[in-house]
Chain A
């Protein structure tokens, strides 16, 4: 290598000013160890650069030095305090150098870790509790949903059977003179004796009164159960009856009566058995 050519290539200045690539820097440092004349030119350029920079120095704001000394002062004193309390001073001198610089950072990291850990524990605890609570209410809801579902399915199955069953008789209950607007449908499965009532339009009753459904068998009324007008548009399963020539709805006192008050008969529907 022609070292003079290398010196005049501009690599020295490029290196000193931090503009050389890593491979260029590595080569330059290797050659510096080999050629003192290269180092001499480098040093001259560095000195010129430093001199130039010093003569063109700009006075920095006064507060900066104080801040810098405070920042490094914290680091230095904390490092000394730690090591003095643990070890005799003449033993730790060597370790001191490496420890001091990072101990401020270490302390900060340690404190931050502890805070983070406490925070994490608190969050975990909260989340655990919240989760357990959610699981409990979730299970309860699931149970409730299951039982509701099965009840609903049972009702649906039964009503579907009742409605679709060819043996089911649909009895259209029509209003009487007392209550011309009252209307309801009875689905009566004569094979299983099941009776379903669909309220279409029944006037509201005082709280001490309820509607009562009757089956008329050979002229005698049979109680098929009570219902409220609030059960509007709902399919109600009433008591079974094997026979019925007609169905009747009366207004009775809450809980029902042993025999119908015929004056208050709201609607009446005749079955085919009657014909």
Chain B
């Protein structure tokens, strides 16, 4: 069928994926599995086995849902990153992960209290979490809870005893700083 094994543009790759081209899918895996696995491991910490289960599930979901990917809304990687983050947070809340973490402190206990106590943060020195280290502590905690723990803004406001509006503003400001660092 004359399928190219390399894709000059993301658009070409997406087109091939939408035609259920297994070669394209294999390339996609080779190019992005490591980046996605890094994010998964930053969320599903301390359990490599469950993290690789999530990675497997994520790629199967990418294959199944590729038709719902809308290029006008964002890059393919952004779309996959969100699938990976959602799957990881689902895993965080699953029984199997909870059981494997039983002996460890609950995030509630770790993060409760004032932002000054954020030195307790268990930030792995990899990927996005490394960028977070450059943020102001009171911002870093909020991003950590929202992005890596999957708490809603409302939950965070309640947990930290700060107004919902403040949570939103701080997270947005923190993410704006993130943009500076990524440039």
Contacts from A to B (Cβ < 8 Å)? 8-14, 16-19, 21, 29, 32-33, 42-54, 56-61, 63-65, 67-69, 71-73, 75-76, 79, 96-98, 100-102
26 contacts between A and B (CB under 8 A): A8-B176, A13-B179, A17-B82, A18-B85, A19-B171, A49-B78, A53-B38, A54-B34, A56-B35, A56-B38, A57-B37, A58-B34, A58-B38, A59-B34, A60-B33, A64-B52, A65-B29, A68-B29, A69-B25, A69-B26, A71-B60, A76-B22, A97-B19, A100-B20, A101-B67, A102-B64
- Is B3 an interface residue, CB under 8 A from the partner? no
| A208–chain B nearest beta-carbon distance, Å | 77
Given A13-B176, A43-B75, A69-B22 in contact, is the A18-B82 Cβ separation under 8 Å?
Answer: yes
A101–B29 touching, CB < 8 Å: no
Q: Whose C-beta in chain B lies nearest to the C-beta of A47? A: B75
| A36–chain B nearest beta-carbon distance, Å | 12
| A18–chain B nearest beta-carbon distance, Å | 4
Q: Could you tell me the distance between the alpha carbons of A142 and B27 in the complex, rounded to whole angstroms?
A: 76
- By a CB distance below 8 angstroms, the chain B residues around A76 are 20, 22
- By a CB distance below 8 angstroms, the chain B residues around A17 are 81-82, 85, 147, 175
- By a CB distance below 8 angstroms, the chain B residues around A75 are 63-64
| A14–chain B nearest beta-carbon distance, Å | 6
A53–B171 touching, CB < 8 Å: no
Q: Whose C-beta in chain B lies nearest to the C-beta of A104? A: B64
A-B contact count (CB 8 A): 144
Instruction: Indicate which residue in A9, A60, A79, A100 contacts B172 across the interface (CB closer than 8 Å).
Output: A9
A13–B172 touching, CB < 8 Å: yes
Q: Whose C-beta in chain B lies nearest to the C-beta of A8? A: B176
- Is B102 an interface residue, CB under 8 A from the partner? no
- Is B45 an interface residue, CB under 8 A from the partner? no
- By a CB distance below 8 angstroms, the chain B residues around A96 are 20
Instruction: Indicate which residue in B18, B55, B75, B176 contacts A97 across the interface (CB closer than 8 Å).
Output: B18
| A80–chain B nearest beta-carbon distance, Å | 9
4 A-B pairs with least C-beta separation: A10-B172, A57-B34, A48-B182, A13-B175
Find residues 32-75 in chain B having any chain A CB closer than 8 Å to their own CB.
33-39, 41, 48, 52, 55-56, 59-60, 63-64, 67, 72-75
- Is B126 an interface residue, CB under 8 A from the partner? yes
Given A61-B52, A67-B56, A69-B22 in contact, is the A11-B67 Cβ separation under 8 Å?
Answer: no
Q: Could you tell me the distance between the alpha carbons of A73 and B21 in the complex, rounded to whole angstroms?
A: 10
Stretch of B92-100, B108-116, B127-135 lying at the A interface: B127-135
A72–B22 touching, CB < 8 Å: yes
Instruction: Indicate which residue in A19, A32, A48, A73 contacts B179 across the interface (CB closer than 8 Å).
Output: A48
Instruction: Indicate which residue in A14, A32, A57 contacts B175 across the interface (CB closer than 8 Å).
Output: A14
Q: Could you tell me the distance between the alpha carbons of A76 and B25 in the complex, rounded to whole angstroms?
A: 12
B81–A53 touching, CB < 8 Å: yes
Q: Whose C-beta in chain B lies nearest to the C-beta of A72? A: B63
A54–B35 touching, CB < 8 Å: yes
B37–A16 touching, CB < 8 Å: no
Given A29-B73, A97-B18 in contact, is the A64-B33 Cβ separation under 8 Å?
Answer: yes
- By a CB distance below 8 angstroms, the chain B residues around A43 are 75
B55–A64 touching, CB < 8 Å: yes
- Is B183 an interface residue, CB under 8 A from the partner? yes
A52–B81 touching, CB < 8 Å: no
